[in-house]
Amino acid sequence: MKPDRRATSQSGMGIIQDTGLNGLPRIVLTHSSGASVEIYRHGAHVTAWKNEGGENLLFLSRESRFERSHPIRGGIPVVFPQFSDEGALPKHGFARTNEWALVKNGQLSDGTVFATLRLEENPDTIRIWPHRFALEYSVRLSDALAVRLSVTNTGDNPFRFQIALHTYFQVADIRLIAMLGLRGIELVDGLRQNVREKETRERIAFEGETDRVYVQAPNRLILSDAGHHRELYIEKSGMNDVVIWNPWIDKSVKMEDFGDDEYQRMVCVETGNIAVPIVLSPGARWEGATKFSVGSE
Smallest gap from Cβ 173 to ligand TA6, in A, equals 21
Judged by CB under 6 A, which of 6, 62, 68, 91 binds ligand TA6?
A: 91
Amino acid (1-letter code) at residue 264: Q
- Binding to ligand TA6 by residue 263, rule CB under 6 A? no
Catalytic residue list: 166, 270
> What gap in Å lies between CA 40 and CA 33, rounded to an integer?
22
Half-sphere exposure of residue 87: CA atoms within 13 angstroms, side-chain side:
19
Smallest gap from Cβ 156 to ligand TA6, in A, equals 31
- Binding to ligand TA6 by residue 252, rule CB under 6 A? no
- Binding to ligand TA6 by residue 211, rule CB under 6 A? yes
Question: Minimal CB distance to ligand TA6: which residue?
Answer: 84
* Phi, psi of 226, deg, nearest 5: -60, -35
Smallest gap from Cβ 9 to ligand TA6, in A, equals 26
Q: Which is nearer to ligand TA6, 61 or 153 (CB)?
A: 61
**Total residues contacting ligand TA6 (rule CB under 6 A)?**
10
Sign of CA dihedral 190, 196, 197, 198: positive
> What gap in Å lies between CA 89 and CA 168, rounded to an integer?
22
- Binding to ligand TA6 by residue 192, rule CB under 6 A? no
* Binders in 226-245 for ligand TA6, by CB under 6 A: 243, 245
Q: Which is nearer to ligand TA6, 115 or 174 (CB)?
A: 174
Which window, 32-40, 50-58, 84-92, 136-144, contacts ligand TA6 (CB under 6 A)?
A: 84-92
The full 3-state SS of 41-104, as one line of letters, equals CECCEEEEEECCCCCECECECCCCCCCCCCCCCECECEEECCCCCCCCCCCCECHHHCECEEEE
Contact 164, 270 (CB under 8 A): yes
> What gap in Å lies between CA 79 and CA 272, rounded to an integer?
9
Q: Which is nearer to ligand TA6, 25 or 190 (CB)?
A: 190
- Binding to ligand TA6 by residue 270, rule CB under 6 A? yes
Judged by CB under 6 A, which of 61, 84, 152, 210 binds ligand TA6?
A: 84
Identify which of 38, 165, 47 has the alpha carbon closest to the alpha carbon of residue 95: 165
Residue numbers at the binding site for ligand TA6 (CB under 6 A): 71, 84, 91-92, 166, 190, 211, 243, 245, 270
